[in-house]
Amino acid sequence: MIKDGPWKEAPKATTFAEREFQVCIAARLVENGKTYWVAGGGGPMYSVLIAKKLYAPDVVYVAEDGVVGPEPMLPFDPVMTLAAARPSYRALMWSTMNGIGDQCAVGYLDYGVLNTLQLDPYGNLNSTWIGTYGVEGRRFNGPGGADTIAAMCRRVVLMMDHQRRKFVPRVDFISSPGYLDGSPGARERAGLPANTGPWALVTNWAVFDFEEQTHHLRLRAIAPFVTLEQVLAEMTFEPKFPPDGKVETLDPPTEEELRILRTEMDVNGQFTDTAAHWVVWEDGRWSLVAKEQGKKLSPL
């Protein structure tokens, strides 16, 4: 799943935000010639758009408002990522929500790309409630279109911040289905189409897939600016490892990926500029540099 591509030879960035790294890594997983259903806005849409521009020109994407194959006019106004003029620009078709659902149900939509707040080892997603449902904690937005994407796309790419509180043994609420309890046929027993489910998880620190037999989250690669120990320390459960035990190291963003992301998409850093530090290449190693003081936090 971690493959070579044009990014290997391209000039690399030396300063970036972790979420920028995450979007670029997700872009490199995009498979040319396939159809994508992207969640509205943020990392999922940015990663597919970067891929379309640099690596996968024949990708066609749809969104839940009914847009099919747009050549969107970037950047978007804040929040105006669906059902608005810029994201709908030069589309092949303006359809409907049920129209997109139909395309997915009959099997025309290969990949889905989603954000999640919380994830368990079987790729179940929570975007509804953190805490005890209805009793204490906090209500979030709910599944939106993600439940359908997670249920019916052939392969689903998940995006999440790499934080200990987000990798949990059981999500507080299954908003959108992963492999449920992980048992064979669990999704089919729940009425979901066969041969579907989470395929990858991209965090700001690592890339995972799901082991074929157990459907359990499996670590495949880590960012060049963190250690394996750090990645595991920010999870409440141990992921599986590849049979050969080899966890790959991901390439940093390229200058070109970042230029597109910063000038055409996340122009105000709303999605990517949320952490307190930059990742900086300096004196032959990566450091996390605090934004405000410009001082180093943790040389690696």
Partner 1 sequence: MAEKTLRILEEGQGEYSLPDPDVFREWTARKDRAMRPKLMTAQEAVARFVADGDYIVWETNYFQRGPSALIREIIRQRKTRLWAGGKFTWVIVALLVEAGCCDRADMGFFVGGPGVTRAVVEKRLKVYEYSNLVMAARLRAGAMGLSFISVRSLGGTDGFKYSGAKIIEDPYTGKPTVIVPALYPDVALIHVHQADQYGNARIFGTTITDVESALASRKVIISAEEIINTEEIRHKPGLTKIPYYLVDAVVHQPFGAYPGECPGMYASDTEHVAEVLGAIYNDKVKEYLDKWVYSVASEEQMLVERVGLNKLKEMQRRATMVATEGYRS
Q: State in angstroms the smallest separation of the CB of 251 from partner 1.
A: 35
Tokens matching residue 63: 């969104």
Q: Choose between 124 and 254: whose C-beta lies nearer to partner 1.
A: 124
Q: State in angstroms the smallest separation of the CB of 91 from partner 1.
A: 8
List all residues 6 or more positions away from 59 whose beta carbon is below 8 Å from its beta carbon.
30, 31, 32, 33, 34, 35, 36, 48, 51, 52
CA separation (Å) from 255 to 54, 133, 180, 262? 12, 44, 39, 10
Q: Which residues pair with 218 in a beta bridge?
A: 209, 240
Q: State in angstroms the smallest separation of the CB of 123 from partner 1.
A: 12
Q: Choose between 192 and 290: whose C-beta lies nearer to partner 1.
A: 192
Q: Choose between 197 and 239: whose C-beta lies nearer to partner 1.
A: 197
Q: Choose between 2 and 192: whose C-beta lies nearer to partner 1.
A: 192
Q: State in angstroms the smallest separation of the CB of 186 from partner 1.
A: 7
Q: State in angstroms the smallest separation of the CB of 4 from partner 1.
A: 35
Cα-based torsion angle of the residue sequence 75, 143, 70, 102 in order, rounded to the nearest 10 degrees: -170
Q: State in angstroms the smallest separation of the CB of 101 from partner 1.
A: 5
Of the candidates 166, 243, 169, which has an alpha carbon nearest to the alpha carbon of residue 205? 166
> Radius of gyration over alpha carbons of the chain, in Å?
19
HEC secondary structure over 189-209: HCCCCCCCCEEEEECCCEEEE
- Cβ burial of 229 (10 Å; 0-12, 13-18, 19+) is exposed
Q: Choose between 38 and 56: whose C-beta lies nearer to partner 1.
A: 38
Q: Choose between 40 and 253: whose C-beta lies nearer to partner 1.
A: 40
Cis check for the bond before 243: say yes or no (omega within 30 of 0).
Answer: no
Of the candidates 26, 72, 149, which has an alpha carbon nearest to the alpha carbon of residue 82? 72
Residues in touch with partner 1 (CB under 8 A): 64-67, 73, 77-80, 82-86, 88-90, 94-98, 100-101, 105, 128, 133-148, 150-152, 173-177, 180, 186-193
Antiparallel, parallel or unpaired: β 155-159 and 198-202: parallel
Q: Choose between 6 and 107: whose C-beta lies nearer to partner 1.
A: 107
Q: State in angstroms the smallest separation of the CB of 62 from partner 1.
A: 10
